[in-house]
């Protein structure tokens, strides 16, 4: 049986209508989002999935007005289920900690809306106020922190830009016997081609990772990685640049076909988080229950 639509339990995207000469809101949205068919927009309007700034459904024939703020709910027809389950590690009034499996996105994007960690937790905890405090890649497994209370959210969000939280990852990659560990790798990361891949470029470094070796065998090493900064794909790019791309990485050093192989997950795990709670002052430490295929 399908679940009735409840806007309080789904996070909407927001758009401010740009300048133009459209007659109706519908005409503007169709022109602005060319990948979405007019029939699909009409269906969304009919089901109350396009709202005004006050959260009230609007009609498709509402006259266009520049700067009008609208909320709409992204949908992906026939969304592919992700056959892995998250684990809830901690839940209190202010903070939720979850163990994310490989392949599950943290937030809606692209072809994933309902099959995301955020949407799953909103339904599971019946809390529409959940907001991720940081992100990890869809291909990466491990710990993700969520704010559960808007009133305390800013205090927890500040942990990251102020670097008051210690993040440790584990990764499996080829040996690097020619390098001395622990080592610090710094570089300048910018978006490359395609747009979702990052690349190292000349210039002042904007990313930094501390790498150490936790285990060794003849063919693979288990690395401990501590990102000082939090750039997109930072650990994946840095390991590839060192000459030991993380096992099963579909993006680095070379882009692989866009097909998930559930038998070969990226061997990267957000393993532990440690910080001083900004509300209580107590030391907090969380550790993933997941393991890599060592």
Q: Where are the domains of the chain?
A: 8-72, 87-287
State residue 140's pLDDT score: 98
Give residue 5's pLDDT. Answer: 39
Lowest mean pLDDT of 33-37, 208-212, 288-292, name the range: 33-37
Q: Which helix (H) or strand (E) holds 187?
A: strand 183-191
Tell me how far apart the alpha carbons of residues 270 and 163 are, in angstroms, rounded to a whole number.
17
pLDDT of residue 262: 95
CATH class, range 87-287: alpha beta
Cis (ω within 30 of 0) for the bond into 283? no
Q: Read off the pLDDT of residues 174-213 as tens digits, 9 standing for 90 and up.
A: 999 999 999 999 999 999 988 889 999 999 999 999 999 9
- Determine contact, residues 272/283, Cβ cutoff 8 Å: no
Task: Round to whole Å and give the CA distance between 60 and 46.
Answer: 8
Sorted by sequence, the CB contacts under 8 Å of residue 60 that are 6+ apart come out as 24, 25, 26, 41, 42, 45, 46, 50
Q: What is the mean pLDDT of the chain?
A: 92
Across 24-38, 61-75, 107-121, 175-189, which has the greatest mean pLDDT?
A: 175-189
Please state the φ and ψ torsions of residue 50, each to the nearest 5 degrees: -125, 120
Confidence band, pLDDT 50/70/90 cuts, at residue 152: very high
Q: What's the confidence (pLDDT) of residue 30? A: 92
Confidence band, pLDDT 50/70/90 cuts, at residue 7: very low
Phi, psi (5° rounding) for residue 112? Answer: -120, 125
**How do residues 65-106 score in pLDDT, each as one tens digit?**
999 999 887 776 678 889 999 999 999 999 999 999 999 999
Does residue 1 surpass a pLDDT of 50? no
Mean pLDDT of 30-38: 84
> Three-class SS of residue 47?
coil
Give the model confidence (pLDDT) of 248-274 as tens digits.
999 999 999 878 999 999 999 999 999
DSSP, collapsed to helix, strand or coil, labels residue 67 as coil
Residue 19 predicted with pLDDT over 80 = yes
Give the three-state DSSP class for 243: coil
Residue 242 pLDDT more than 60? yes
The pLDDT, as a whole number, for residue 77 is 66
pLDDT band at residue 2 under the 50/70/90 scheme: very low
pLDDT at 72: 84
CA distance 197 to 190: 9
166 and 226 Cβ atoms separated by less than 8 Å:
yes
Q: What is the mean pLDDT of residues 50-59?
A: 90
What's the confidence (pLDDT) of residue 74? 73
Res. 11 pLDDT band, cuts 50 70 90: low
What is the pLDDT at residue 53? 87
pTM of the full structure: 0.79
Task: Report, as an integer, the average pLDDT of 41-58.
Answer: 90
Q: Which CATH number fits domain 8-72: 3.40.720.10, 3.90.226.10, 3.10.290.10, 3.40.718.10?
A: 3.10.290.10
pLDDT at 4 over 60: no
């Amino acid at each position: 049986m399908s679940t009735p639509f409840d806007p309080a339990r789904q996070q909407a995207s927001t758009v401010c209508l740009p300048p133009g000469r459209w007659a109706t809101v519908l005409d503007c949205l169709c022109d602005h989002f060319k990948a979405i068919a007019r029939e699909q927009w009409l269906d969304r309007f009919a089901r109350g999935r396009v709202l005004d700034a006050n959260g009230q459904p609007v009609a498709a024939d509402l006259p266009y007005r520049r700067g009008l703020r609208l909320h709409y709910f992204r949908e992906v027809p026939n969304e592919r289920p992700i056959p892995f389950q998250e684990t809830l590690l901690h839940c209190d009034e202010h903070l939720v900690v979850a163990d994310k499996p490989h392949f599950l996105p943290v937030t809606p994007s692209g072809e994933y809306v309902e099959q995301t960690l955020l949407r799953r937790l909103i339904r599971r905890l019946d809390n529409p106020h959940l907001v991720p405090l940081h992100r990890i890649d869809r291909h990466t497994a491990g710990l993700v922190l969520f704010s559960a209370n808007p009133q305390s959210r800013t205090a927890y969000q500040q942990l990251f830009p102020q670097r008051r939280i210690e993040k440790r990852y584990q990764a499996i990659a080829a040996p690097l016997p020619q390098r001395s560990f622990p080592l610090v790798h710094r570089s300048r990361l910018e978006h490359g081609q395609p747009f979702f891949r990052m690349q190292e470029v000349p210039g002042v470094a904007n990313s930094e990772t501390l790498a150490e070796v936790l285990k060794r065998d003849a063919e693979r090493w288990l690395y401990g990685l501590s990102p000082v900064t939090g750039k997109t794909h930072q650990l994946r790019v840095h390991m590839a640049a060192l000459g030991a791309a993380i096992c099963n990485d579909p993006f680095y050093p070379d882009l692989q076909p866009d097909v998930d192989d559930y038998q070969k997950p990226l061997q990267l795990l957000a393993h532990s988080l440690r910080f001083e709670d900004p509300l209580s002052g107590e030391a907090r430490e969380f550790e993933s229950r997941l393991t890599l295929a060592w």
